[in-house]
Chain A
């Protein structure tokens, strides 16, 4: 693939203002599909999770999944949207072999949720308000596999196979209004926006939200407006952006690519573009024009969706705290620095830390253990940190350190035991015989021995160079095999040196 010419990012931003827009598709994790009672499970043997409805067999009819309606309303509410008292499905007509009926049932001019707002915070602390145009329900299409070509793409393939297991999987598509003013932050904002949507759907529990599995898919629209022109540029729509990092890279790439073309007097083609994760470039896809004619009309096989006010109120009352509000609340309560809090957020362990603090641990300790040792062990084992140990056990561990029963070093051994399933921290401490030596007699003997072995250090301490004590403390801790309380050793070293 010919590599497109790119303009330096800063230069591009000098000449043009980027205007963004996002369409995020969220796969709902309902038990059955959007319009049939087939299991909502994509994967496994091709064409096994299907019914006549998913195959669009003659005579079959769709029936709306009530759970998908509830999930969509919850999502709409979490996006600050108004919920339409009556919304309708429509048919979007186009021929494609992954589309069983050759029309997609989707909401068109009457979406279930509209006019919302999402607060998006960037890592640098800037907060953007992203305005939501609509969130609407639709069904997913099947999946094509192109066989016989070198690239696995349709070009050059001998034939294609269709798996309809995904056909009819419930989706909500969240569409933003145009976002301008992001400027240099545009790529970061794109990433942060998608991340925020992910946080919201995860907090609602309505989607598995794994981008790499396609549970969450982002189409990024971008156009460049020449500075001072007051005119919108022609947009491209980049698809296949399968990770948060890709969202950021794809936006940056498109800004640089479009700027290079425009600066040379060229024009941008309105088209979909395909993001290539491996090479980090986008390539031209299908030309797209506003004149694409899908011959939408109201789906006559379905009645309007008319949720009762009581249902909307019930779902509103059940909404979890908005991620942005929760973030602000926790940041204040925990008194972390921006950097510390970002660390916590990036670790994805906010909930674990919150639960650990709720169980009695100091926020700093909870953060230290979760983002430190536990994250390290999880990383080694390639598992989620949250799956290793419970917040309750971490809180217990921290409490044992606080009251001197464990040193940090002993606590790490206890943690290993807890993770290995040997029991609670107290049980592991007991069964492994890991007890802090608090008997001053044994410590004093070890200290005297160490001081005698390092007379020069003793001199320095007596001359007031207190930091020299470190060498003696280290020797004592080593002699005690880590079972000593370092703070107490330090006190005793200073005391003995003066005698």
Chain B
């Protein structure tokens, strides 16, 4: 049998529905792949012991003639920031080591209801704070393209899992680029939906006003299929949108079939491209622009003058919300408890627990956020940051009057070396310069492969952005661009990844 791990979710779906293969076959193939390569990659923090049983159940249902959704029987990896009632959910932190929530996140519940097969939980920067997955309390994830390099972050585990063929699909979460930037540096596809498009219930919060759960895959169509499963209104999330959503999979199929961008106005954001970007990234971006124009797109340059303040605003709003969201980790009701020597008051226990349980980046951001919210500083920091946020939203509004979608590189560089930026938080923060504005404005964004940088042979990614609620444009334009680029190259990008050594 052909290697089932090389198939896309859409292909697996077709073969499962045609009963050419069973979910048990597919699931076993992926579990074997995890066993073979994850010692080097370390994409997974936990591998489910129930996956094969779940797959067998789906096969039985299919055998019984039950009407199943398109992704039924397809395995999926789940970022460890999402609560799962049958697996530990640690958010990459020592403070939650071994914690099994008594409930499923809404997106996980939807996966189960659609009969996808959870394979396990993926590695991430602790509480999603980071751009390299090096801030995981359980050790870094390695980039399948080059094991000495970072897989991006915070969702490096999910991106590496799909790039290394350990899973066809994964869930991620994106607060400032944690889905799109890892996609860019691993040659995979990631989507941050419109804020409110996917429920946050059961996603361990980093910054509530920025967090959004989304798909991580190897193709645009797979992302669309997964988005169709996880999206929609959830009464348990007050910020969830009640909008009806079109089929993203239909949009992706149409986009790939027509390969036409006639009449589509594509805005190039002046501030998200230029000298600070790696030369190979700029070259590949220029190539994508050519391809888009050749397919009939109207390329316009748009300016977003306030993006210059986006990182500064983001690193006030995020730590402020995070400092409050992370206050609950106090040892009283769940998670790690550290009793100080000789006992002490509840405050002493809380302090000792947080001292031992949080890593340095988490502590850094809690301190920053606590400071930014303090009386006397609130207006200057948090208040000003919120004003910048409004200005950035206005920049987007103006840009979308001239363009249907906006594009930029998804990350300024290819994957950097593990350890390269660990001691320089500011350099690490700057890696999210392209992705942060979409989170601040609540608009949807997609990262997808745009080719290899000639100088280092590593993947680069392009970012598409659409107005809030217009996620469907990402899928139609994204699928068209993906198909046009692959036509030009004569292969998929991911097929160029080096073969990994397989443990026996």
B373 touches A64 (CB 8 A): no
Is A61's CB under 8 angstroms from B200's CB? yes
- In the bound complex, what is the Cα–Cα distance between A302 and B196 (angstroms)? 12
Question: Does A180 count as interface, using CB distance less than 8 angstroms?
Answer: no
Nearest chain-A residue to B105 (Cβ)? A59
Q: Does B263 contact A (CB under 8 A)?
A: no
Task: Return the CB mask of B333-355 against A: 1 if under 8 Å, else 0.
Answer: 11000000000001100100000
Complex: A296 Cα to B324 Cα, angstroms? 10
- Chain B 189-228: CB-based contact to A (< 8 A → 1; otherwise 0): 0000000000011111101110000000000000000000
Q: Is there contact, CB below 8 Å, between A297 and B382?
A: yes
Chain A 63-99 interface 0/1 with B at a Cβ cutoff of 8 Å (1 = within)? 1100000000000000000000000000101010100
Contact of A102 among B203, B205, B321, B328 (CB under 8 A): B328
List A160-210 residues whose CB lies under 8 Å from chain B: 160, 162
Q: Check B238–A97 contact: CB distance below 8 A.
A: no
A-B contacts counted at CB < 8 A amount to 101
Interface residues in A42-59 (C-beta closer than 8 Å to B):
52, 55-59
Which residue of B has the minimal Cβ distance to A94?
B327
Q: Could you tell me if A95 and B347 are in contact, using CB atoms closer than 8 angstroms?
A: yes
Residue of A nearest to B205 (CB): A59
- Does B102 reach chain A (CB closer than 8 Å)? yes
For the complex, give the distance between the alpha carbons of A303 and B237 in Å: 10
A291→B376 CA distance, assembly (Å): 10
Whether B1 is near chain A, meaning CB under 8 Å from some CB there, is: no
Q: A100-B328, A295-B374 are in contact. Are A58 and B101 (CB under 8 A)?
A: yes
Contact in complex: B375, A302 (CB < 8 Å):
no
Chain B residues with Cβ below 8 Å from A303 are: 238-239
- Residues of A262-311 at the interface with B, using a CB-CB cut-off of 8 Å, are 291, 293, 295-297, 300-303
Measured in the bound complex, the distance between the Cα atoms of B333 and A153 in whole Å is: 22
Contact of B332 among A60, A97, A300, A301 (CB under 8 A): A97
Taking the complex as formed, is B388 at the interface, i.e. its CB lies under 8 A from any CB of chain A? Answer: no
Contact of B91 among A58, A95, A100 (CB under 8 A): A58
Residue of A nearest to B95 (CB): A58
CA distance A57 to B374 in the complex (A): 25
Q: How far apart sit A487 and B334, CA to CA, in the bound complex (Å)?
A: 79
B483 within 8 A of A: no
Q: Enumerate chain B residues within 8 angstroms of A61, measured Cβ to Cβ.
A: 200-201, 236-238
Give the residues in chain B near A64, CB-CB below 8 Å. Answer: 238
Q: Is there contact, CB below 8 Å, between B333 and A57? A: yes
For B101, list chain A residues within 8 Å (CB).
52, 57-59
Instruction: Given A95-B350, A293-B374, A295-B370, decide whether A55 and B333 contact each other with a Cβ distance below 8 A.
Output: yes
The answer to whether A95 and B327 have CB atoms under 8 Å apart is yes
Residue A252 is within 8 A (CB to CB) of chain B in the complex: no
Given contacts A100-B333, A102-B327, A103-B324, contact A60 B201 (CB under 8 A): yes
CA distance A55 to B96 in the complex (A): 15
Determine the distance from Cα of A162 to Cα of B333 in the docked complex, in whole angstroms: 10
Pick from B83, B91, B346: contact of A160, CB below 8 A.
B346
Alpha-carbon separation in the docked complex, A160 to B346 (Å): 9
CB A159 to nearest CB in B, in angstroms, measures: 9
Decide: A101 and B328 in contact? CB cutoff 8 A. Answer: yes
Q: Which residues of B contact A62 (CB under 8 A)?
A: 238
Q: List 26 A-B contacts (CB under 8 A).
A: A56-B328, A57-B101, A58-B89, A58-B91, A58-B96, A59-B101, A59-B103, A59-B105, A59-B205, A61-B200, A62-B238, A63-B237, A63-B238, A93-B327, A93-B373, A97-B330, A100-B328, A101-B327, A102-B330, A160-B346, A297-B324, A297-B373, A300-B209, A300-B239, A302-B238, A303-B238
Spell out B's residues near A (CB within 8 Å): 82-83, 89, 91, 96, 99, 101-103, 105, 200-205, 207-209, 235-239, 320-321, 323-324, 327-330, 332-334, 346-347, 350, 370, 373-375, 378, 382
Known contacts A59-B202, A103-B324, A295-B370, then 5 further A-B pairs from the complex at CB < 8 Å, ordered by chain A residue: A58-B329, A61-B201, A160-B346, A295-B324, A297-B324
> Considering the complex of A and B, which 5 residue pairs feature the smallest CB-CB distances, nearest first?
A102-B327, A295-B373, A300-B208, A300-B209, A59-B202
